[in-house]
Amino acid sequence: MKHFLDIHTTSAADLRAMIDSAHAMKTARQGRPKGTPDDDQPLKGHMVALIFEKPSTRTRVSFDVGVRQLGGETMVLSGKEMQLGHGETIADTARVLSRYVDLIMIRTFEEQTLLEMAEHATVPVINGLTNRTHPCQIMADIQTYEEHRGSIAGKKVVWAGDGNNVCASFLHAAGQFGFDFTFTGPQTLDPEPEWLGFARSKGVSVAVERDPAKAVADADLIVTDTWVSMHDPESAKERRHNQLRPYQVNEDLMAKAKPDALFMHCLPAHRNDEATSAVMDGPHSVIFDEAENRLHAQKAILRWCLGR
C-alpha cells in the first residue's frame, strides 16, 4: 500500500513518474468539458473520503473533480462533524474509515494526526496539508514550472517571506527534483533546519539570504505565500506584517530576477501584502496554472496510490 505523505518520503523516481502522468492526463483532456470523465477510469467503483479540519477551496474542489474524472466517487467530511481525535482515537477512525472507503485524503493541523491515520489505515492516505508540509501543492508547482519552462533541474528557485509548510515541501522538492533553493526572509521565520538539511543532503545548493534583492539575482522562479498561515495566531499578524514587508514580491523585486523568471503563489493570496496585484496579474505570473494543476497532479497521485 502506498501513502502519499510527503515529497521527501516518496522516491524521486515515483515523483517523476507522477509528474509525467499529470502532464499526459492534462494533455489528454484538452478541449473537453470539465465534467466529462477521462477515457481511462481507474477509480471506477472506488470511494474516496476527503477530510478537512481546515478551510479549503482548491484542495477540496480539485480532489473532488479529479476523483470523478477518474471514475470514482467522493465524500467530503468536515473534521468538526467527525469524532476525529476527540470522540475516538485517530487510529480507530482510520480503521473504521478503511472498512468503507478505498482511499483517504486528509487536511489537518498536526502532522502526527496524518501519521497516525496512515499507520492505522488499511487504505492509502494522502496529505492534503498539515502545519508542517503541503506536498500536493508542490507537485502541482513542479508540473506548472515544467509546462512553461521545461525541466526544473538545475534552476534557481527563490522563496520570499515566511519559511512555512509550503516552503518546507518546496525544499523537499529541491532535493528530489534537483534544483537550487534560496530562502529570503527574516531570521525568526527561517525554514526548519531539518528541511534545509534534507535538500542539502541531496547535493543541491541551498542558501539563506536576508537581502531580498541579492537573493533573487539570477532567479528562474520566485515563490511566496501568505504572511500569516491558517495555523498562526491572529495576534502574530501585525508583527509578521512588519517583519515581512521588505520581502514583498513587487515589480521592482521581480525585475531583479532573470527576464523570463516565473512567479508562483499557491493561493489564497492577500493581494498587495506578500505580492502586489501587478505581479500576480503580470507577465511572469503562473498562479492560476498552479491552481489548475492541483487537479492534474493530484489525479496522478491518486493513481499512484492505488497502483494504477
- The site for ligand CP (CB under 6 A) is made up of 56-59, 129, 137, 266-268
Is 92 noted as a catalytic residue in this protein? Answer: no
Is 30 noted as a catalytic residue in this protein? Answer: no
Annotated active-site residue in 107, 120, 172, 303: 107
Is 132 noted as a catalytic residue in this protein? Answer: no
d(CA 136, CA 53): 17
Cβ proximity to ligand CP, 37 vs 55, nearer residue: 55
Q: Is 247 helix (H, G, I), strand (E, B) or coil?
A: helix
Query: Residue 140: phi, psi to the nearest 5?
Result: -65, -35
Question: Is 266 exposed, middle or buried (CB count within 10 Å of its CB: 0-12, 13-18, 19+)?
Answer: buried
Nearest alpha carbon to residue 22 among 66, 79, 72, 59: 66
Annotated active-site residue in 6, 266, 284, 298: 266
Q: CB of residue 74 vs ligand CP: minimum separation in angstroms? A: 15
Is 220 noted as a catalytic residue in this protein? Answer: no
Q: CB of residue 264 vs ligand CP: minimum separation in angstroms? A: 11
Pull the grid cell for residue 288. 492560476
Is 32 noted as a catalytic residue in this protein? Answer: no
Is 95 noted as a catalytic residue in this protein? Answer: no
Query: Residue 182: phi, psi to the nearest 5?
Result: -120, 130
Cβ proximity to ligand CP, 111 vs 218, nearer residue: 111
Annotated active-site residue in 141, 225, 284, 305: 225
Cβ proximity to ligand CP, 94 vs 266, nearer residue: 266
Cβ proximity to ligand CP, 77 vs 206, nearer residue: 77
103: left (phi over 0), alpha (psi -120 to 50) or beta: beta
Annotated active-site residue in 137, 143, 176, 248: 137
The DSSP letter of residue 285 is B
Q: CB of residue 252 vs ligand CP: minimum separation in angstroms? A: 26
Q: CB of residue 55 vs ligand CP: minimum separation in angstroms? A: 6
d(CA 171, CA 192): 10
Q: Looking up cell 523568471, which residue turns up? A: 261
Give me the active site residues, please: 107, 134, 137, 225, 266, 294
